[in-house]
Amino acid sequence: MTELIDYDKVAAQYDARYQRNDYSGVAHALAAFVENARRASSWNVLEVGCGTGHWIRFFRDSATHIVGLDPSRGMLEIARTRLPDGRLIRAAAEALPCRTASFDRIFCVNALHHVTDPAAFFREARRALTDGGRVLTIGLDPHAGRDRWWVYDYFPTALIEDRRRYLSAARIRELMEAAGFTCCDTCEVQHIPARMTVGEAARRGFLDRASTSQLMVISQAEYDAGLKQIHRSADDGGPILRADLRLYGTSGWAV
């Protein structure tokens, strides 16, 4: 049974992931995503699933208007402490509370898999974007078969759930095109390799259940059993926990 994630409860711990992992490729992809819009005298950006406001902070000094949207009250409370002048809205991706053609760029990072109806989101994104605007999603593609992750090795239901929660890049492009976007394409934006001992993983917080949604969607019983197996293996002289993950950016143009 899939466990529901209460992001209000984990909001205070959420940003630790940005210290544990390298997301420089994501930052570079976002900078390239908004580059043409920056040349305009006025341009507006919306992040869907903004969480604690980590990514919208990149644009607060350059965008004319930057808006963050998230369904979690707890995540937005933290975002407001960091962006006291920012416009932050509690709402769902499937019903964007904005006027038609009011944004030049709409993006979401590691959030699309939390959207109940991605097709509705892309239709709303197309409505909310100006002609010449662009949408971008960044996230895992567990359907590609390229990734290895110790989380999937020790908590196998996490992979099953990821293949249910995450759309393939090809499916994302299909939904974008159905919503009216053109020139839809996908590229790898971040490679996340890792190799660490169990002790290092524990010290850096990788074994904490709130460290990633993959450990929160499995049952408590599976989490406890997998953690026990990891520590038992460590007592026997191993293992080395390995990861080789990729984040993909998929974008489309509103014309």
Model pLDDT for residues 216-236, shown as the tens digit of each residue: 999 999 999 999 999 988 776
Residue-level pLDDT at 243: 96
Closest-CA residue to 74 (of 16, 3, 4, 14): 14
> CA 43 → CA 60, 66, 218, distances in Å?
12, 9, 41
Tell me the C-alpha distance between 12 and 129, whole Å: 32
Q: For the chain, what is the total number of helices (H) and then of strands (E)?
A: 11, 8
**Furthest-apart CA pair in the chain: how many Å?**
62
Establish if 30 belongs to a structural domain: yes
Establish if 1 belongs to a structural domain: no
Establish if 122 belongs to a structural domain: yes
Q: What is the CATH number of the domain that holds 222?
A: 3.40.50.150
- The answer to whether the beta carbons of residues 180 and 250 sit under 8 Å apart is no
Query: How many structural domains is the chain composed of?
Result: 1
- What global pTM score does this model have? 0.93
pLDDT grade for 3, boundaries at 50, 70 and 90 = low
pLDDT in tens, 182-204: 999 999 999 999 999 999 999 99
Residue-level pLDDT at 11: 87
Helix 169-178 to helix 118-128 angle, to the nearest 10 degrees? 50
Establish if 163 belongs to a structural domain: yes
Establish if 235 belongs to a structural domain: yes
Give the structural domain span for 237. 7-254
Establish if 55 belongs to a structural domain: yes
